[in-house]
């Protein structure tokens, strides 16, 4: 009966790739690999065990309140293992005449149509590569930090619905609105 109430995602074992070491603690999991080192805290009531090259998430006791964290904990640890093994990547495009980005040391200088340049400090553990001044690639081991840095860069000049200018994710489809004359 207990198996029916567990999360489908939480029941999946996490394969540990070659070159990745996992240290299971009582309240956190330390993962180290070629791309870096991450520490993932665990919600209370979730325990991980290492079984022949895989990690398995289990509930300490059958409790309705703890069950909701089963799939979450497994996903967070799987992201940490995948991050130190392969890393995560987000790509952004800058669209607009005169809009560009330039890498200077540990800072990115943006010209996004404002009267002043915007200086963005690159956080630790994140690498930013700029191609042709208009294509930005954000990479790192921590999925949450990579996504947050990409969102912060996009927030500097969100895409305009009328002229489609601004910073957007690569492949993002925007809804174009018609102006006053087209209505």
Q: Block means of pLDDT (10 residues each) for the chain, length 183 residues?
A: 63 85 87 87 84 82 73 87 89 89 90 88 89 90 90 88 87 84 67
How many C-beta neighbours within 10 Å does residue 176 have? 11
Give me the pLDDT at residue 1, please. Answer: 40
Contact between 168 and 134 under an 8 Å Cβ cutoff? The reply is no
> Long-range pairs for 78-81 at CB < 8 Å and ≥24 separation?
78/14, 79/143, 79/144, 80/29, 80/31, 80/38, 80/40, 80/142, 81/14, 81/16, 81/17, 81/20, 81/22, 81/31, 81/33, 81/55
pTM score = 0.81
Contact between 149 and 76 under an 8 Å Cβ cutoff? The reply is no
**Lookup result for tokens 């070629």:** 34
Give me the pLDDT at residue 135, please. Answer: 92
> Long-range pairs for 12-15 at CB < 8 Å and ≥24 separation?
12/74, 13/51, 13/54, 13/55, 13/56, 14/54, 14/55, 14/56, 14/57, 14/74, 14/77, 14/78, 14/81, 15/53, 15/54
| Residue (of 119, 117, 115, 112) closest to 98 by Cα position | 112
- Give the pairing of strands 21-24 and 14-15: unpaired
Give me the pLDDT at residue 137, please. Answer: 92
Task: Give me the sheet containing 118-121, strands edge to edge.
Answer: 100-104, 107-111, 118-121
């Amino acid at each position: 009966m207990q198996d029916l109430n567990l999360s489908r995602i939480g029941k999946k074992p996490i394969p540990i790739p070659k070159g990745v070491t996992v240290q299971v603690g009582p309240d956190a999991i330390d993962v180290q690999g070629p791309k870096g080192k991450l520490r993932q805290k665990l919600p209370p009531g979730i325990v991980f065990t290492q079984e022949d090259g895989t990690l398995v998430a289990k509930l300490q006791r059958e409790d309705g309140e703890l069950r909701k964290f089963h799939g979450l904990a497994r996903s967070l640890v799987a992201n940490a293992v995948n991050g130190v093994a392969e890393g995560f990547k987000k790509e952004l495009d800058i669209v607009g005449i005169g809009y560009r980005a330039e890498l200077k040391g540990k800072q990115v200088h943006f010209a996004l149509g404002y009267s002043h340049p915007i200086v963005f400090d690159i956080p630790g553990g994140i690498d930013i590569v700029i191609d042709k001044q208009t294509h930005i690639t954000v990479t790192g081991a921590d999925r949450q930090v990579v996504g947050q840095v990409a969102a912060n860069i996009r927030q500097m000049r969100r895409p305009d619905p009328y002229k489609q200018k601004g910073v957007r994710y690569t492949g993002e489809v925007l809804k174009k609105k018609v102006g006053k004359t087209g209505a």
